[in-house]
């Protein structure tokens, strides 16, 4: 059940365990923890990911974000019956296990506090209400807090509570922690661990606070120290326990265990209520800039808050050396790797509502220019060519082979070789940030180097043939068609990139001559190179059908088998899954917005309305939406083309990707790009936010017919601008 700020689970849905575990992730931009249970549950995927902690395990093809020790465990027994969630069926068969007689869980998106209320009957017949609450402090990102209230509803039960840090964690079996040390003093327990290959260290400390004495015992088989308390709870009496935990890594400080121990002292001296208050205050500030209000559509309203919540909990606040992976920090999907998803999908809502965090994400790319230069050099090119998948090192980390299929064979993955448009996507993110933030210092010191050295790469990469410039062996956004020549998306975006590089050089020359000179020298932007850029801008091959007045996704595309995608509706699987991979790649079925993505990014700079409509009519019916990145982009473009119904339908589709698990893989993590895409479909698509010819923010709304209004705030050059867009259609209808 959803209310405007609350994601609720009522009653317990064991069949949606992994789905809800992902949706109910909490985080603070430093780390995130999935919505697993304090007492554990079979089949859970208990995960805490801390930004930047990658490791390459033995026998694995690529590095991945590492699952940190689990800070959640709080195990309660009631008159000797362990408290746990029990399936209804199991309950009657095994009364000795106790019975769960009430359950409600709520993630408050406004405060990022996860609460679970349960009613539990022990074998003795005693009934207790147990309320769990947790948050990852936004006011101090190293503090994690849990509160447990226990009320004796019936009977006077003996209660025992045990809490600890579980360091026996893996990434679905892959072991990343090598040297593990546990420590304890009279009150606290600590874990120190080092990743096997990369050598990152983590320090985690916890304390359990109770009105009753807490002792520390050694659990020798599990090699861990456990904090335990026990007491009798008189009928109708209640008690509250607190568990505080603290986390540091060697990315933050030399001795993470010591730092965690010290921070823990600070946390429990401050106390739960004050920590919670400070945390909520920070969230209030977040929403003050990042909330969007939609009048007239509660589902859309909730979906927008949900996606923004998930972007905010993983967006680094104080760290400019990490970025956001495709599945945020909420699951193992794509191993925490950073794709174009970040700059073209997740970044824009941050650029416009939390510019400092957008800057952090772009700095991550700046600091990895050497990885991009290595990749270009290794492929025989000049300049900087960003990896398709990136981790801490900035080197290419796309696996060359997929996981084994049923018959044991593996499919070759070409994206790391051929999906080269990412260098331009990053440039798009840099320039969008600059235009909106007016952060000239960032541009001069960092951003310009990204834009220009990736331009150097393209200037060198293009092939001079057939009296024009071409690009062979590419993968555009439509990944069903691999290693094709002259992807219109890539070729056209390269032209855009080189045009922008020129404009930037002009700006630098006038506004930052020293930086201009430095970059010209450093990147060897000599006259010959610049003359070639002009030539490329003029002579790049942009596949276009003059007769039909459409862009051609790539030459040869229309010679392949036509499969009428709409005929497969209604469907829950992708057309690729229905007709098979081998057939799909020989047809005109498109995985995701490709030419339509180009239309989203360039708008009317790509072509006049007639061509844009022709493109839409050609490509929309061929698109599978086999990637979660697709529906939101279609909603955005359809809104700009004033195709109201289809825009609303695509928006709804995008909004449900995680909430309804309509791709069936939410257990692997939140779809970060679909989240950012939804925000863009609303603000850039329906509301038409743009910078006008004078460089000022302006709107051009085309809202779905049943919406009354949309209000949002964006930052423009350091100032907040608030927009309320009313729907003229509704006004007319109501008149």
**Other CB atoms closer than 10 Å to residue 680's CB: what's the count?**
23
Nearer to ligand IFM, 339 or 619 (CB): 339
Q: How far is the CB of 197 from ligand IFM (least distance, A)?
A: 24
103 Cβ neighbours under 8 A, 6+ residues apart? 9, 10, 11, 12, 85, 116, 117, 118, 119
Among 38, 79, 140, 479, binds ligand IFM (CB under 6 A): 479
Nearest-angstrom CA–CA distance, 596 and 613: 10
Give how far the C-alpha of residue 144 lies from the chain's centroid of Cα atoms, to the nearest Å. Answer: 21
Tell me 621's DSSP state. G
Question: Least CB distance from residue 419 to ligand IFM, whole Å?
Answer: 8
Q: Per CB under 6 A, which of residues 272..331 are in contact with ligand IFM?
A: 326
By CB under 6 A, tell whether 340 contacts ligand IFM: yes
What's the gap between Cα 295 and its chain centre? Answer: 26
339 contributes a contact to ligand IFM by CB under 6 A: yes
Q: Which residue's CB is nearer to ligand IFM, number 227 or number 307?
A: 307
Shortest distance (Å) from residue 405 CB to ligand IFM? 18
Of the residues 295, 479, 649, 731, only one is catalytic, namely 479
Stretch of 84-92, 115-123, 334-342, 369-377 lying at the interface with ligand IFM (CB under 6 A): 334-342
Q: Tell me which stretch binds ligand IFM (CB under 6 A): 177-185, 338-346, 527-535, 571-579.
A: 338-346
By CB under 6 A, is residue 366 in contact with ligand IFM?
A: no
Q: To which residue do tokens 């050099």 refer?
A: 377
Q: Are the CB atoms for 316 and 252 separated by under 8 Å?
A: no
Residue closer to ligand IFM (CB basis): 146 or 628: 628
Q: Is 270 helix (H, G, I), strand (E, B) or coil?
A: helix
Kindly tell me which of 334 and 707 has the beta carbon lying closer to ligand IFM: 334
Point out which span in 136-144, 332-340, 358-366, 404-412 binds ligand IFM (CB under 6 A).
332-340
CA separation for the pair 335, 64 (Å, rounded): 5
Instruction: Scan residues 417-436 and list those touching ligand IFM (CB under 6 A).
Output: none
22 contacts 666 by C-beta, under 8 angstroms: yes
Q: Find out whether the peptide bond into 11 is cis, omega within 30 degrees of 0.
A: yes
Tell me which DSSP letter residue 562 carries: P
Could you say which residues in the range 559-578 bind ligand IFM, by CB under 6 A? Answer: none
How many chain residues touch ligand IFM (CB under 6 A)?
10
- Angle, vertex CA 666, rays to CA 660 and CA 669, nearest 5: 135
- Taking CB under 6 A as the criterion, the residue among 99, 484, 629, 632 binding ligand IFM is 629
The residues in 598-617 that bind ligand IFM, with binding defined as CB under 6 A, are none
Active-site residue, 295 included: no
Close Cβ partners of 675 (under 8 Å, ≥ 6 residues apart)? 307, 308, 310, 311, 328, 345, 346, 658
Residue with tokens 């900087």: 384
In the bound complex, what is the minimum distance in angstroms from residue 661's beta carbon to ligand IFM?
Answer: 16
Of 704, 479, 477, the C-alpha closest to 601 is 477
Residue 334 binds ligand IFM, judged by CB under 6 A: yes
Q: Using the rule CB under 6 A, which residue among 341, 425, 449, 594 binds ligand IFM? A: 341
| Nearest approach, Cβ of residue 32 and ligand IFM (Å) | 17
Q: Give the shortest CB-479-to-ligand IFM separation in angstroms.
A: 6
Does residue 673 belong to the site contacting ligand IFM (CB under 6 A)? yes
Residue 450 backbone phi and psi in degrees, to 5: -65, -50
Give the C-alpha separation, 165 to 72, whole Å.
7
Tell me the closest approach of the beta carbon of residue 341 to ligand IFM, in angstroms.
Answer: 5
Position among 627, 665, 675, 727 found at the interface with ligand IFM (CB under 6 A): 627
Using DSSP's 3-state secondary structure scheme, residue 18 falls into helix
Distance of alpha carbon 113 from alpha carbon 233, whole angstroms: 27
Active site residues: 479
Binding site for ligand IFM (CB under 6 A): 326, 334, 339-341, 477, 479, 627, 629, 673
């Amino acid at each position: 059940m959803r209310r405007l700020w609350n994601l609720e689970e009522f009653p317990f849905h064991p069949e949606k365990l992994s789905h809800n575990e992902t949706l109910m992730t909490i985080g603070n931009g430093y780390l995130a923890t999935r919505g697993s249970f304090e007492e554990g549950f079979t089949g859970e995927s208990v995960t805490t990911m801390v930004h930047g902690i990658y490791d390459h395990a033995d026998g694995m093809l690529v590095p991945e974000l590492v699952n940190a020790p689990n800070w959640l465990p709080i195990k309660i027994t009631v008159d000797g019956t362990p408290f746990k969630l029990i399936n209804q069926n199991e309950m009657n068969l095994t009364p000795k296990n106790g019975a769960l007689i009430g359950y409600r869980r709520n993630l408050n998106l406004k405060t990022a506090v996860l609460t679970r209320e349960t009613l539990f009957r022990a074998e003795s017949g005693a009934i207790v209400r147990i309320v769990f609450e947790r948050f990852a402090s936004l006011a101090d990102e190293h503090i994690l807090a849990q509160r447990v209230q226990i009320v004796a509803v019936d009977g006077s039960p003996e209660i025992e509570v045990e809490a600890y840090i579980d360091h026996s964690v893996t990434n679905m079996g892959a072991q990343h922690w090598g040297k593990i040390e546990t420590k304890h003093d009279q009150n606290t327990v600590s874990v120190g661990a080092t990743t096997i290959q990369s050598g990152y260290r983590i320090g985690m400390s916890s304390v359990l606070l109770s009105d009753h004495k807490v002792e520390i015992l050694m659990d020798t088989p599990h090699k861990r120290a456990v904090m335990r308390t026990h007491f009798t709870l008189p009928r109708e009496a209640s008690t509250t326990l607190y568990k505080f935990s603290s986390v540091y890594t060697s990315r933050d400080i030399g001795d993470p265990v010591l730092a965690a121990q010290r921070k823990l002292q600070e946390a429990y001296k401050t106390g739960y209520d004050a920590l919670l208050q400070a945390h909520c205050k920070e969230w209030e500030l977040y929403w003050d800039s990042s909330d969007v209000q939609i009048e007239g559509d509660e589902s859309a309203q909730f979906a927008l808050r949900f996606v923004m919540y998930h972007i905010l909990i993983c967006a680094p606040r104080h760290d400019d050396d990490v970025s956001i992976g495709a599945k945020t920090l909420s699951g193992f999907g794509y191993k925490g790797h950073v794709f174009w998803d970040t700059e073209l999908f997740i970044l824009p809502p941050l650029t416009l509502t939390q510019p400092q965090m957008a800057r952090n994400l772009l700095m991550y790319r700046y600091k990895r220019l050497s990885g991009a230069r290595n990749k270009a050099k290794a492929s025989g090119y000049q300049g900087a060519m960003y990896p398709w998948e990136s981790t801490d090192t900035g080197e290419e980390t796309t696996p060359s082979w997929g996981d084994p299929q049923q018959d044991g064979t593996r499919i070759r993955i070409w994206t790391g070789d051929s999906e080269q448009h990412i260098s331009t996507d990053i440039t798009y993110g840099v320039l969008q940030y600059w235009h909106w933030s007016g952060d000239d210092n960032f541009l001069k010191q960092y951003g310009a180097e990204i834009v220009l050295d990736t331009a150097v790469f393209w200037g060198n990469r293009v092939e001079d043939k057939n009296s024009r410039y071409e690009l062979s062996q590419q993968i555009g956004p439509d990944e069903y068609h691999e290693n094709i020549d002259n992807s219109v998306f890539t070729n056209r975006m390269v032209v855009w990139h080189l045009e922008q590089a020129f404009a930037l050089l002009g700006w630098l020359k006038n506004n930052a001559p020293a930086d201009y000179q430095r970059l010209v020298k450093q990147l060897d932007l000599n006259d010959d190179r610049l003359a070639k850029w002009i030539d490329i801008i003029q002579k790049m091959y942009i596949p276009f059908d003059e007769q039909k007045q459409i862009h051609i996704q790539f030459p040869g595309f229309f010679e392949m088998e036509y499969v009428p995608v709409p005929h497969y509706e209604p469907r829950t699987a992708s057309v690729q899954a229905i007709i098979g991979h081998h057939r799909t790649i020989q047809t005109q079925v498109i995985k995701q917005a490709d030419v339509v993505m180009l239309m989203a990014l360039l708008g009317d700079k790509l072509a006049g309305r007639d061509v844009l409509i022709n493109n839409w009519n050609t490509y929309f019916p061929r698109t599978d939406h086999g990637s979660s990145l697709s529906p939101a982009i279609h909603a955005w473009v359809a809104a700009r083309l004033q195709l109201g119904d289809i825009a609303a339908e695509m928006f709804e589709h995008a909004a449900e990707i995680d909430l309804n698990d309509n791709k069936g893989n939410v257990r692997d993590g939140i779809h970060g790009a679909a989240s950012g895409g939804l925000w863009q479909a609303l603000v850039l698509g329906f509301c038409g936010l743009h910078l006008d010819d004078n460089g000022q923010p302006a709107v051009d709304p085309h809202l779905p017919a049943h919406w009354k209004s949309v209000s949002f705030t964006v930052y423009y050059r350091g100032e907040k601008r608030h927009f309320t867009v009313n729907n003229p259609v509704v006004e007319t209808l109501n008149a």
